[in-house]
Chain A
Amino acid sequence: MSEVLLSVEGVRKYFPVGGGWFAAREHVRAVDGVDLVIAPGETLGLVGESGCGKSTLGRVILRLIEADAGRIVFEGRDLRELGRTEMRNARRHAQIIFQDPYASLNPRMTIGEAIGEGPRVHGLLEGEALDARVAELLETVGLRPDHAGRYPHEFSGGQRQRVGIARALALEPSLIIADEPVSSLDVSIQAQILNLLLDLQERFGIAYLFISHDLRVVHHLCDRVAVMYLGRIVELAPSAELYDQTQHPYTEALLSAVPVPEPGGGRERIVLKGDVPSPIHPPSGCPFHPRCPRAEDRCSREEPALREVGAGHLSACHLAPF
């Protein structure tokens, strides 16, 4: 990979919890040293269980949440070193689509105002030019231009998600962070929205960081996939290879849980022991070792580094390649 659009290096975000007069302040390690690279026009999937830090990572990249450490280099500039105004301009080409299309639209604003707001506040367009741009965007995402004056409550979930996509497109982004964009939609609508995203990528060359917990969707959509567990990336590989030559026991377990539409088909189901450990006190050594069916002695002592185990295939497991 020669060209780099976004490079995330050693990014960490700990949320303080508790703490008071008598209790020590502790930290939830939401993102605990993540490295990622996204090329222009590429789709990188980011999968993991709820609470593994994948949404936090997406927001940290856009500086909607401030990281504690690390570098976020987007279009050649480290976003974390920029001042507020510079950062706002630099961030223009990095946008986000939210999980909940109901909560992420201001109920008191027409969808036309919402979509046009980005260009307006950046001083790019106004007046009739802005209206024309909004109409064009509505058409691009498959809505009728004359709906610009309507309010969000007049639309269905799928339509609202289209509005959210149009809002992100308005600033001509080169990167869109899609934070579970279809997980709150009906299955019949999911495919439409995914196809829209693919279509837009083809037309505008947008790169996606596609955050999801649905492995089928990710497989269908992504060039490469990163698997996250307890704030760290445990495996990263080209999409097909991740599924065919899994090199981390956690990924194996995740994949075995994907339902396969044939009786008796699919993989041997791996049922993990116990729950996800607390991100406040992650286990010693490999964070996955207490639940790992392959765990050995050293897994509880030594922390595995994310290392290359095949061409473009990274795994944070002592035992890889299997």
Chain B
Amino acid sequence: MSAGGWAGALLVAGLVALALAGDDVSGYRFDAQDTEHALEGPSAAHWMGADALGRDLFARVAEGGRVSLLVAIGSTAVAMLIGIVYGAVSGYVGGRLDGWMMRAVDAVYSLPDVLVIVLLTEVFHGVLDAVPDLYRRLLALVLALGLVGWVSVARLVRGLILQAREEAWVEAARAVGVRGPRMLLRHILPNVSGPILVTATLRVPSAILAESIVSFIGLGIQPPFSSWGVLASDGFAAMRSYPHLILFPGLAILVSLFALHLLGESLRERLDPRQRS
């Protein structure tokens, strides 16, 4: 793996470790209030400062990372899974089926994202009645964001497959008798995996932001729990007076984007034998 790939992997591991062990490292609980230190900037005691209720921001960023990373990676996985299968079938089978499948995608695409997310979150809240509250909210977010995101993945994958289907090596494989699933899985998909991987890494930060919008409406994560998106949008309101409130959650989002991008790029290179030396 390239140096960039290692750096990305290391950063992702660091973020995950931070999210899992945040409270213990800082010594503060994420929901412990200490109003005397409210809105204080970073110090030796509070490494990232404290919020309006005097809660340690480091502990909150760590705690929020659990939600953000889980929701972002989970919903990206859902979107990629549905999108790749749907787009691959549509593009590979082609013809009339492709036409109908793409009309369906257009229909889903034409609906406003936020509306669909709100509706789906509500539906999943109802369906997942038996699940404890916090997990139910997380799961509903993952599914709702995933079910909104798959359409653009499906379009991309279909386009890539339509293009790859015309390659001479596809005809060559057909001539020796390769058909159906093997053609798709062994020949076509590996050759279009690069752009698909890049899309996946780019979807993660947008899912982090989408989660904050849903939570802002009141359907996502509720206080005292938080996420990077929620922390950042809270901090945005007081950006001029207390810049640390947006700086640290923002940095967390930025670093995660950067790390996933490095990791994705390096994976893409590794998967392409032409770029392996």
Contact = CB atoms under 8 A, between A and B. Distances in A.
Contacts of A107: 169, 191, 272-274
Given A107-B191, A109-B186, A109-B187, A167 B177 contact: no
A216 B169 CA distance: 29
B273 A153 contact: yes
Nearest to A164: B172
Contacts of A98: 168, 171-172
A92 B174 CA distance: 11
Contacts of A174: none
A10 to B, nearest CB: 24
B103 interface: no
A105 B274 contact: no
Contacts of B172: 96, 98, 104-106, 164, 167
Interface string A140-164: 0000000000010100000000001
B13 interface: no
A240 to B, nearest CB: 32
A107 B193 CA distance: 13
Contact of A106 (B173, B175, B177, B179): B173
Interface stretch (A115-123, A241-249, A253-261): A115-123
Interface string B167-205: 111011111111100100011001100000000000000
A143 to B, nearest CB: 17
B268 to A, nearest CB: 12
Nearest to B273: A151
Contacts of B178: 117, 121
A91 B274 CA distance: 32
Nearest to A108: B190
Nearest to B192: A108
A132 to B, nearest CB: 18
A168 B272 CA distance: 25
Interface residues of B, number: 21
Contacts of B274: 107, 151, 153
Interface residues of A, number: 28
Contacts of B182: 121
Given A106-B187, A108-B190, A121-B182, A100 B175 contact: no
A260 B171 CA distance: 37
A105 B172 CA distance: 8
A109 B170 CA distance: 12
Contact of A92 (B177, B190, B191, B273): B177
Contacts of A170: 176
B90 to A, nearest CB: 21
Contacts of B271: 108
A100 B273 contact: no
A299 interface: no
Given A107-B274, A153-B274, A100 B168 contact: yes
User: Helix, strand, loop or mixed for chain B's interface?
Assistant: helix
B273 A95 contact: no
Contact of A121 (B176, B191, B273): B176
B175 A62 contact: yes
Contacts of A103: 167-169
Given A64-B171, A167-B172, A88 B179 contact: yes
Contact of B176 (A95, A108, A151, A153): A95
From A92, A109, A164, A168, name the one whose CB has the most chain B CB atoms within 10 angstroms.
A109
Nearest to A103: B168
A88 B178 CA distance: 9
A171 interface: yes
A122 B175 CA distance: 12
A40 to B, nearest CB: 20
B209 to A, nearest CB: 34
From A96, A106, A170, name the one whose CB has the most chain B CB atoms within 10 angstroms.
A106
Contacts of B167: 103
A100 B167 CA distance: 11
Given A64-B171, A151-B273, A153-B273, A106 B191 contact: yes
Contacts of B175: 62, 64, 91, 95-96, 168
Interface string B38-64: 000000000000000000000000000
B174 A117 contact: no
A109 B190 CA distance: 9
Nearest to B172: A104
Nearest to A122: B177
Contacts of B191: 106-108
Given A103-B168, A104-B168, A105-B169, A117 B176 contact: yes
Given A98-B168, A104-B168, A109-B186, A117 B173 contact: yes
Contacts of A96: 172, 175
Contact of B174 (A64, A100, A153): A64
Interface of B: 167-169, 171-179, 182, 186-187, 190-191, 271-274
Q: Which 10 A-B pairs have the closest CB atoms?
A: A118-B176, A103-B168, A151-B273, A106-B169, A104-B168, A108-B190, A104-B172, A153-B274, A96-B175, A121-B177
8 contacts: A64-B171, A91-B175, A92-B177, A103-B167, A104-B168, A118-B177, A121-B182, A167-B176
Given A96-B175, A170-B176, 4 more contacts: A64-B174, A95-B175, A98-B171, A107-B273
